[in-house]
Amino acid sequence: MSKTRRLSSAFLGLPYIFWAAAFIVIPLIMVVWYGLTDENGAFTFANVAAIADPAHSKALLMALLLSFLATVVCFLLAYPLCMFLVELQKGSDSFLTMLLIVPMWMNFLLRTYAWQSILEKTGIINTALTALGFAPLRMINTNGAIILGMVYNFLPFMVLPIYNALEKIDKNVINAARDLGADGRITFLRVIFPLSLPGVISGVTMVFIPALTTFVVSSLLGGGKILLIGNVIEQEFMVAYDWNLGSGLSLVLLIFIIINVVISAVTEKGEEAKA
Amino acid sequence: MKTKYKGLKRLYIALIFIFMYAPIALLIVQSFNSSKSRGHWGGFTLDWYRSLFTDASIGEAFTNTILLALLSSVISVILGTAAVIYMSKLKKSPRTILMGVTNVPMLNADIVTGVSFMLLFLTLRIQFGFVTILLAHITFNIPYVILNVMPRYRELNPHIYEAALDLGASPVYAFFKTVLPEIMPAILSGGLMAFTMSIDDFIITHFTAGAGVHTLSTKIYSEVKLGIKPEMYALSAMIFVTVLLLLILVNRVPAKADAHGKEAV
Amino acid sequence: MKKKTVFSICLPLLAAGLTAYLAAGCGKSSREREDAPDNDSNRLYVYNWGEYIDPEVIGLFEEETGYKVVYDVFETNEIMYPKVAADPSQYDVLCPSDYMIAKMAGEGLLAELDMDAMPEAKTNIGEQFWRMSEDFDPGNLYSVPYTWGTVGILYDSERVDEEITSWDVLWDEKYNDEILMQDSVRDLFAVALKKLGYSLNTTDLNELEEAKNLLIEQKPLVQAYVVDEVRDKMIAGESKIGVIYSGEAEYTREENESLSYCIPKEGTNVWVDAWVVTKDSRHKKAAYDWINFMCRPDIALMNFEYIYYSTPNIGAMELMDEETLSNEVLFPDVGKYDLEAYRYLGTDAERLYYNLWKEIKSA
């Protein structure tokens, strides 16, 4: 009996194992392969070391800087938002939170493109400023515009995990802290925030990685003046036709992603241990 | 507990919503703008909504987008659910490895995933087209299904399934009668997430699409530089409003019905 | 839990709603398909520049020949090339520029054309344009000229109160945040190289370094590096000065009369875009029919009146009025200016240009 059951579950698992091998593991091996060989197929470390070229390292640093700032802004916007949402929606459903996901149904290229019309020199904000007698602002094609685009696109990824974490917190725990004499600030620092930390970490990684590697936001809102590492990789493949270099630089990004996976695995384990 | 500063908190939420919805409002306004160039109001028109239905290229891109989303979410739901059942019976370390691999497409940068698919298909000499995009979409959708279904499946009481077997039900029958209904909500929410991800994806599609095969995303990307066709605004506005209305309908109507029921009691 | 119920009700409803859309939105295109059998053998895959054809022409071609055209667009030669090189059979007809044709022909990506299959090309394309093409396609083996033109400066004469005659204006602090530069490697370097008085085909490292530094120095003044967006931004008044292809000049003037085009006195690039057929094309017959169709005077005129790029089609020029033909922007007197065509410089030089370009973009 138990033998047949194991057989049938292996039968269930096989398609997925095959799929994961063919479409997750092998493609990644190919990136590693291309990244560590030259155009003749000989082993080289040059494509990865190329990250040290001034143009590439500047693009990487710029991407790190902008995505870091975007993540911080996302966090600062999302955390209070989630606290207020949990408080105000208490007992009822999470309708408002769902409304924050709905914009994702409008294509993200279009949404980002719409910011051009808002920010540009003849755009909505500057037209309004000029009409009111103020000097127009230089907003489009700046670092600020790119950060704004990142925050706008990835904010829901920060909101959802934090909201879920905050919503799960047992109200009795908070009340108990209050009863034991903790004031609002201490309750927050000692009880609420630590309990929401897994959500925060998951939100941070879900915002930081796409922001770090984007090439779309920078090309739509940066006017081609700001080169991020995502742009470099995209252009190596789609313009310069150098797959080896493109793969080598992707490997550098993989390092950041591995750090990310490790952090989320560690926090997941911590959570499991607690449970 | 009394809520302090309720007004201010509401204001803050409202501001965030304005931030999230302002560009969308702009796009919807644009879809009624008779002037083709953005930023200039040329008067109200419904022309773009009319010409939308005769524009074969947008129609094709739309069909591709929806077909990809439907197929990829259905296939990833089947593969993912089967994988969950399999994985929950595995020992700890093979399970950790398989889960780690599963998480890769979700945690990996889209650009690396897209690039890795491109290299794979080029090496295998698979012609780029609908099928390559579909394979890629299924792959990045599966983790969302697994992550939704896994916790729910592990919460299940295994004795019910075994009781069904003891009572003579075949494993398949027992699964459909005892397990599936329990994990259905998780499957559906995973499927919906997969559907949304597939609809919204651009980067991976960009690297796996071939000649003449467009989704709405790749079509918009190629149009961004030349000026987006107003029909595209019209289509997006329609999709958006439908989703919004559905959400409101689904959310508000049962809530009211509930309230009525309670009052009656 | 509640959220999940919402989801579970939402999903089928969504699917239903979207399917309804699907039926409504695609009814038309599937109906159209019933007329002509649509299978791969009947198709023609065309890869052309964006906004580089009168869309009606594609419909006419399909009507007359019964082929189904699958039409894709690219933004720069450099974006087109990897797509074709990675899978040379996916497109049948392309329209690259001079230097890119030389590169692709050299790499064996292009098919030698059977000129007898395209009688319209033989009779209508002017002798001088075949000769111009010999620069990048010796013997006219691989390409049939489609358009030609120059690279110059488009400016808003109402808001720029001087007459522009030189590339120098692009380095004038007065125009901070008002300048649009081309976002493609060769066109960007051409501007700086010509300003410095060098050849735009130079491979001299010192000259290129000098050009790179000049472009980095200019970067703070530049509003954006763009390709096709120059057109819309100039029309909307978003910027005052932009580097652009001559064909766009006449188009933008129709929308905004105060825009003027100038060929700078230091000289510039003269280019030819030409139809080529890929070597691995699966629809060669259809490809020839396409090129032949494009060379018909009435069709060439339709395209000209839509895109306003100068045509090498003598037959079409005979159908134009005197005013159009004497338009200096559309049909410049080639002898009057210092014009230079791009040559293909080889992969090493290509890589050098590209690396320097990255340095400018990341500066």
- The shortest CB-CB distance from A113 to any of B39, B90, B224 is to B224
Mean pLDDT throughout B146-155? 91
Confidence of residue B22 (pLDDT cuts 50, 70, 90): very high
Of residues B127 and C170, more confidence is placed in C170
Cα–Cα distance for residue pair B229/C232, rounded to 1 Å: 13
Q: B98 vs chain C: nearest CA distance in angstroms?
A: 26
Cα–Cα distance for residue pair B45/C235, rounded to 1 Å: 22
CB-based contact C184:C77 (threshold 8 Å): yes
Cα–Cα distance for residue pair C289/B203, rounded to 1 Å: 35
| pLDDT for residue C48 | 96
- CA distance to A94, A168, A177, A185, B246, per residue, from A173 (Å): 21, 11, 6, 15, 36
| pLDDT for residue B257 | 47
Residue B247 touches partner C, C-beta closer than 8 Å: yes
Q: C86 vs chain A: nearest CA distance in angstroms?
A: 9
Q: Provide the domain limits for residue A228.
A: 49-274
φ, ψ of residue C92 to 5 degrees: the values are: -100, -50
In a domain, B45, yes or no: no
Percent of all residues in chain B with a pLDDT value above 70, rounded to a whole number: 92
Residue B182 touches partner C, C-beta closer than 8 Å: no
CB-based contact A157:A199 (threshold 8 Å): no
Amino acid present at B160: I
CA-wise closest residue to C266 among C361, C200, C177, C355? C200
In a domain, A152, yes or no: yes
pLDDT digits (tens, 9 = 90+) for A68-107: 999 999 999 999 999 999 988 765 567 888 888 888 888 8
The answer to whether the CB atoms of B226 and C50 lie below 8 A apart is yes
The answer to whether the CB atoms of B185 and C29 lie below 8 A apart is no
The answer to whether the CB atoms of A225 and C6 lie below 8 A apart is no
Over its C-alpha atoms, chain C yields an Rg (Å, rounded) of: 23
- The number of C-alpha atoms within 13 Å of C319 and in the hemisphere containing its C-beta is 16
Residue bearing tokens 């009880």: A191
Is residue A14 located within the same domain as residue A75?
no
Is residue A64 located within the same domain as residue A4?
no
Residue A230 touches partner B, C-beta closer than 8 Å: yes
| The total number of structural domains that make up chain B | 1
Residue bearing tokens 């370009």: C357
Confidence of residue B39 (pLDDT cuts 50, 70, 90): low
Q: How far is CA C32 from the centre of its chain?
A: 30
The answer to whether the CB atoms of B66 and C18 lie below 8 A apart is yes
- CA distance to A31, A237, A254, B57, per residue, from A35 (Å): 6, 12, 11, 37
CATH number at residue A176: 1.10.3720.10
**What are the tokens at C206?**
């010192």
- CA distance to A216, B37, B58, C25, C262, per residue, from B228 (Å): 16, 9, 12, 19, 28
| The total number of structural domains that make up chain A | 2
| pLDDT for residue A245 | 96
| pLDDT for residue B181 | 92
Global pTM reads 0.91
Is residue A130 located within the same domain as residue A245?
yes
Is residue A7 located within the same domain as residue A129?
no
Q: Give contacts of C 85-144 with A, CB under 8 A.
A: 85
| pLDDT for residue A92 | 59
Strands C339-340, C259-262: pairing kind: unpaired
Is residue A29 located within the same domain as residue A136?
no
| pLDDT for residue A258 | 85
CA-wise closest residue to A70 among A252, A201, A210? A210
Nearest CA in chain A to C182: A224
In a domain, B243, yes or no: yes
SS3 content of chain A, % helix, strand, coil (to 5): 80, 0, 20
Average pLDDT of the residues of chain B: 87
CB-based contact C190:C238 (threshold 8 Å): no
Residues of chain C short of pLDDT 70, as ranges, are 1-38
CB-based contact B137:B72 (threshold 8 Å): yes
Is residue A109 located within the same domain as residue A29?
no
List of chains touching C (3+ CB pairs within 8 A): A, B
CB-based contact B69:B198 (threshold 8 Å): yes
Nearest CA in chain C to A122: C238
CB-based contact A206:A157 (threshold 8 Å): yes
Strands C179-182, C144-156: pairing kind: unpaired
- The number of C-alpha atoms within 13 Å of C303 and in the hemisphere containing its C-beta is 25
- The shortest CB-CB distance from B255 to any of A93, A110, A118 is to A93
Helices within C134-261 (DSSP H only): 185-195, 205-218, 229-236, 246-255
- The number of C-alpha atoms within 13 Å of A154 and in the hemisphere containing its C-beta is 31
User: Does B1 have pLDDT greater than 60?
Assistant: no
Q: Is residue A224 helix, strand or coil?
A: coil
- The number of C-alpha atoms within 13 Å of C78 and in the hemisphere containing its C-beta is 22
pLDDT digits (tens, 9 = 90+) for C227-260: 989 998 998 899 999 999 999 988 898 888 999 9
CB-based contact C158:C220 (threshold 8 Å): no
Helices within chain C (DSSP H only): 2-35, 55-65, 77-86, 98-106, 119-124, 127-133, 185-195, 205-218, 229-236, 246-255, 284-294, 297-307, 314-318, 322-325, 347-362
pLDDT digits (tens, 9 = 90+) for A126-182: 999 999 999 999 999 999 999 999 999 999 999 999 999 998 888 899 889 989 988
SS3 content of chain B, % helix, strand, coil (to 5): 80, 0, 20
For residue C94, the cross-strand partners are C47, C276
Residue C238 touches partner A, C-beta closer than 8 Å: yes
In a domain, A43, yes or no: no
Residue A158 touches partner B, C-beta closer than 8 Å: no
- CA distance to A221, C92, C342, per residue, from C170 (Å): 22, 39, 22
The answer to whether the CB atoms of B111 and A102 lie below 8 A apart is no
Cα–Cα distance for residue pair B31/B46, rounded to 1 Å: 8
In a domain, A270, yes or no: yes
Q: How far is CA A247 from the centre of its chain?
A: 21
**H or E stretch covering C150:** strand C144-156
In a domain, A5, yes or no: yes
In a domain, A158, yes or no: yes
Residues in contact with A212: Cβ distance below 8 Å, sequence separation at least 6, in sequence order: A63, A64, A67, A229, A230, A253, A256, B109
Domains of chain C with bracketed CATH:
12-148+270-332 (3.40.190.10), 150-269+339-362 (3.40.190.10)
CB-based contact A195:A169 (threshold 8 Å): yes
Other C-beta atoms closer than 10 Å to the C-beta of C66 total: 13
Residues of C in contact with A53 (CB under 8 A): 355
- The shortest CB-CB distance from A239 to any of C82, C177, C225 is to C82
Is residue A90 located within the same domain as residue A9?
no
For residue C97, the cross-strand partners are C273
Is residue A82 located within the same domain as residue A54?
yes
Cα–Cα distance for residue pair C65/C358, rounded to 1 Å: 45
| pLDDT for residue C32 | 43
| pLDDT for residue C29 | 44
| pLDDT for residue B258 | 47
Is residue A135 located within the same domain as residue A208?
yes
ipTM: 0.90
pLDDT digits (tens, 9 = 90+) for C33-86: 444 556 788 999 999 999 899 999 999 999 999 999 999 999 899 989 998 998
- The shortest CB-CB distance from A27 to any of B107, B116, B203 is to B116
Residues of C in contact with A59 (CB under 8 A): 358, 362
| pLDDT for residue B250 | 78
Is residue A181 located within the same domain as residue A240?
yes
Is residue A145 located within the same domain as residue A222?
yes
CATH number at residue B250: 1.10.3720.10
The DSSP secondary-structure symbol of C334 reads G
Amino acid present at C357: W
What does the angle CA B116 – CA A45 – CA A218 come to, to the nearest 5 degrees? 50
In a domain, B35, yes or no: no
pLDDT digits (tens, 9 = 90+) for A204-235: 988 999 999 999 999 999 999 999 999 999 99
Residue A136 touches partner C, C-beta closer than 8 Å: no
In a domain, A40, yes or no: no
- The shortest CB-CB distance from B111 to any of A6, A122, A230 is to A230
CB-based contact C329:C250 (threshold 8 Å): yes
- The shortest CB-CB distance from C4 to any of B39, B59, B185 is to B185
In a domain, B200, yes or no: yes
Based on the number of CB atoms within 10 Å of its own CB, is C72 exposed (0-12), middle (13-18) or buried (19 or more)? buried
Residues of B in contact with A12 (CB under 8 A): 82-83, 85-86
The DSSP secondary-structure symbol of C73 reads E
| pLDDT for residue A256 | 86
| pLDDT for residue C9 | 45
Cα–Cα distance for residue pair C259/C253, rounded to 1 Å: 6
CA-wise closest residue to B21 among A99, A83, A88, A146? A99
Is residue A157 located within the same domain as residue A267?
yes
**What are the tokens at C113?**
């054309």
Q: Provide the domain limits for residue B243.
A: 55-264
The answer to whether the CB atoms of A225 and C355 lie below 8 A apart is no
Cα–Cα distance for residue pair C183/A25, rounded to 1 Å: 36
